[in-house]
Amino acid sequence: PSFLSGVYQPEYIGESVMIRNTITLDQLAAKHLSKDSRFHSLQLGASEGKPTQTLSWDENGVPLLPESDPMKVFQKLFVNDLNPEEASKAMDFKRSVLDIVAEDARSLQKEIGYEDREKVDAYFTSIRDVEKRIKRQQQWVNTPKPGVPPLTQRPTTFHDNLDLMFELAALGLQHDCTRVVSFELPAGGLPIILDGQQLSGYHGQSHHGKDPAVVEELVKIEQMHMTSLAKFITRLKGIDDGDAPLFDRTQILFGSGLGNGSSHSNKNLPIMVAGGGLKHGRDLIFEEGKVPLCNVYVSMLQQLGIEIDSFANSTGNINQMLA
């Protein structure tokens, strides 16, 4: 859950530490990039995962759960409300309910201590965020959504679903439905099929214990992940975005919060950055413990035109190597 936030997370299962997450890279970027888009951001998943393991978190440490059903994503992005007037009334009702909840919370604030008041303040912020989302929806309620060919069926395997969700993400970016998408590849869910044979679960294989047979199957699964990513990149390269391919204007971050899933080590993380006008075609190896991943995030944000000098536990940036 801390992959995009940089918040410390215990490396070993035996460690017992209370963790409060905070705003993730994608949500900070969305605050600056998606102001004029229909949706603040999209959270997508290749299959169902655990709520505590989601990639995207807001500034109050609230997880933004990914949607893994392509039909629901398609409905959200490309299917118009049958009755915009009724939809607007429904949003007004939601706002009125939030007003009542906020008033109750204000009354409660007078009767609680300092620590609890901090929690209520965070709750207020969450309410305001919901109000902003409703307001954004109302601003777009009379604007038709982009027309794209309809979906007819749900995929039944992990990577077929992954490919379709990547396609929906590409269409969403192409039509400026949003400018920020996070994409979770959970360790369980739909079956993983290769050459007609079902492979073992990804989570179990990641705890390989250096068993060659298990590692071999893990490599096959991760090669399938990378094949799907390559298709997505190729798709973005084929979308004209004015005077350049959409790929050239889209930063892609792909990686994991674990350097070794078998030991739960969060050192030496495998990270790939593509697109977005950054320097590519190189394998950068940093001295262990010297360069936090958030230094990469700072360079990515700056390349997007976001004026920021630090993010989470960053100690600088890697502009000379990346930007």
227-273 pLDDT, tens per residue? 999 999 999 999 999 899 999 999 999 998 887 777 777 788 899 99
Spell out the residues 6+ positions from residue 98 whose beta carbon is closer than 8 angstroms to its own: 127, 130, 131, 134
pTM exceeds 0.85, yes or no:
no
Helix (H, G, I), strand (E, B) or coil at 240: strand
For residues 138 and 181, membership in a common domain is answered with no
Q: Is residue 7 part of a domain?
A: no
Q: Is residue 10 part of a domain?
A: no
pLDDT number for residue 200: 79
For residues 101 and 69, membership in a common domain is answered with no
For residues 283 and 299, membership in a common domain is answered with yes
pLDDT number for residue 93: 56
158-204 pLDDT, tens per residue? 999 999 999 999 999 999 999 999 999 977 788 999 888 898 777 77
305, with CB counted inside 10 A (0-12, 13-18, 19+), is: exposed
Per cent of the chain over pLDDT 90 is: 46
What is the overall mean pLDDT for the chain? 84
Under 8 Å between Cβ of 158 and 21:
no
For residues 92 and 218, membership in a common domain is answered with no
| Cα–Cα distance list, 274 to 214, 263, 281 (Å) | 29, 28, 9
For residues 56 and 126, membership in a common domain is answered with no
Nearest to residue 46, comparing CAs of 178, 151, 187?
Answer: 187
What is the distance between the alpha carbons of residues 300 and 26, in angstroms, rounded to a whole number?
11
Most confident of 35-39, 95-99, 297-301: 297-301
pLDDT number for residue 106: 65
pLDDT number for residue 164: 96
Most confident of 66-80, 103-117, 140-154, 168-182: 168-182
Q: Between β-strands 42-45 and 181-184, what pairing exists: parallel, antiparallel or unpaired? A: parallel
Q: Which domain holds residue 45?
A: 25-79+145-322
| Cα–Cα distance list, 86 to 38, 76, 81, 141 (Å) | 19, 17, 9, 10
For residues 164 and 311, membership in a common domain is answered with yes
- The residue assigned the tokens 């607007």 is 88
pLDDT number for residue 60: 82
Split into its structural domains, the chain has a count of 2
What is the distance between the alpha carbons of residues 234 and 149, in angstroms, rounded to a whole number?
20
pLDDT number for residue 320: 93
65: tokens are 């759960």
pLDDT number for residue 268: 84
For residues 190 and 315, membership in a common domain is answered with yes
| φ, ψ dihedrals at 212, nearest 5° | -55, -40
Residue 12 has pLDDT above 70, yes or no: no
Which of 111, 144, 177 is where one domain is finished? 144
Residue 15 has pLDDT above 60, yes or no: no
